[in-house]
Amino acid sequence: MLRFPESLHISAGKDPSHNNLIRIGGRCIQVNEADLDWLVYHRLPEGTPVPLNELAARCGLGLPDVKSSIARLERSCLVEQSGGAVRMLTFGEALIRNQLKYEEDLPFVIENGVIKEKKRDPCPEKK
């Protein structure tokens, strides 16, 4: 298993998707955000929330890099962040969240972890 003992964050140049350096085996390697997200996602344990600072240590990255990565993973409906900890969503949870995000005509919503019937206008306007 590779250990990522150190991460350096440099300011974005002309291509903001290539602005991270990680040190592996004494070599600095430039990675894009997708590679960084892959690393962070695959360091999450299944089914167990992990504090962000612990995740940063597992990845060998700085906390700002991990927070940015988690925000991107959350927008992609792959993880959930709550109270300073993050957890990997199950396949079913990710599927439902993506449906909610992209299918506007679903008859339900999720509020605070509870699936509820969508409130509908009893007299919808005809188009």
Dihedral sign for Cα atoms in the order 8, 33, 79, 92: negative
pLDDT tens, position by position, for the chain (127 residues)?
A: 444 444 444 333 345 544 677 766 677 777 889 989 999 999 999 889 999 999 999 988 889 999 999 999 999 999 999 989 999 999 988 888 888 788 777 787 777 778 788 777 666 666 5
- Residue keyed to tokens 């959930």: 80
Domains of the chain: 6-89 (1.10.10.10)
3-class DSSP state of 124: coil
Give me the pLDDT at residue 121, please. Answer: 67
Which tokens sit at 64? 């700002």
Give me the pLDDT at residue 6, please. Answer: 46
Which tokens sit at 45? 């344990």
Distance CA 43, CA 20 (A): 18
Distance CA 30, CA 61 (A): 13
User: CB under 8 Å to 70, separation ≥6 — which residues?
Assistant: 40, 52, 55, 79, 81, 86
Give me the pLDDT at residue 49, please. Answer: 96
